[in-house]
Amino acid sequence: MKTFFNTIIKPYNLYKNRRHIKNQKIQSLRCKPWFEAEGDKTLRLDYELDENSLVFDLGGYEGQWASDIYSKFRSNILIFEVYPPYANKIRERFLKNAKIQIFEFGISNNTTQISFSVSGNTSSGFTSNDNNTEISLIRAQDFFLENNITHIDLMKINIEGGEYDLLEHLIETDFIKNICNIQVQFHDFIIPDAKQRMVRIQELLTKTHEPTYKFEFVWENWKRKNDALK
């Protein structure tokens, strides 16, 4: 057993740790311009919204972004958080706010259940650790139809790898035209061919939207073109 650990497990764990440290350094360099621009306090909240606007928050986590958006615009907000303990905390946070709804599932390209790795704000359905649970995903187009949603003013997407399937689905179903602004964080360390898929999605988005800011693999926003609905 000791030989197996020394020859297989120990080197593999060492490799994982080194890769994790390398990825952290890469992401730190990517985030530097974003932090210098104070993007979380400026760009991510700079929209033309009001009390009648509909905002989707995909990947609610602690609900802070939703809270900031509501404080500024008083918009109607739908928060999607797949992990029940996080969803419950968000529900308690906005308990007396009728304009904020919390859904304990995610929206994607298919209705299914997947294994979900819990790790704070980097929890994902595309990684694995000792703290896994089952979470639910609902096909986005089905959710829109069932809830009579035909227009979204702002959709924020931070779903740790699930953004690729979702955006491809929104483009394929043509619902993408009904979304005024798409604020998305692409992830590359956990998704095979992430760069290629991201570039392809961006190319398709240019048919209906245009970027207002873009910090690669940090945050970017796509605003619908004036003629997108023609």
Mean pLDDT of 2-21: 51
Distances (CA, A) of 126 to 12, 25, 109, 187, 228: 19, 21, 15, 11, 33
- 37-224, superfamily in CATH? Vaccinia Virus protein VP39 (3.40.50.150)
Lowest mean pLDDT, pick from 126-130, 190-194, 199-203: 126-130
Question: pLDDT tens, 89-100?
Answer: 999 999 999 999
Q: What is the mean pLDDT of residues 66-77?
A: 98
Q: What is the pLDDT of residue 229?
A: 83
- pTM confidence score: 0.84
Mean pLDDT value of segment 158-182: 97
**pLDDT tens by residue, 189-198:** 889 899 999 9
**Looking at residue 63, what DSSP letter applies?**
S
Q: Locate tokens 């932090």: which residue?
A: 35
Q: Are 204 and 196 in contact (CB under 8 A)?
A: no
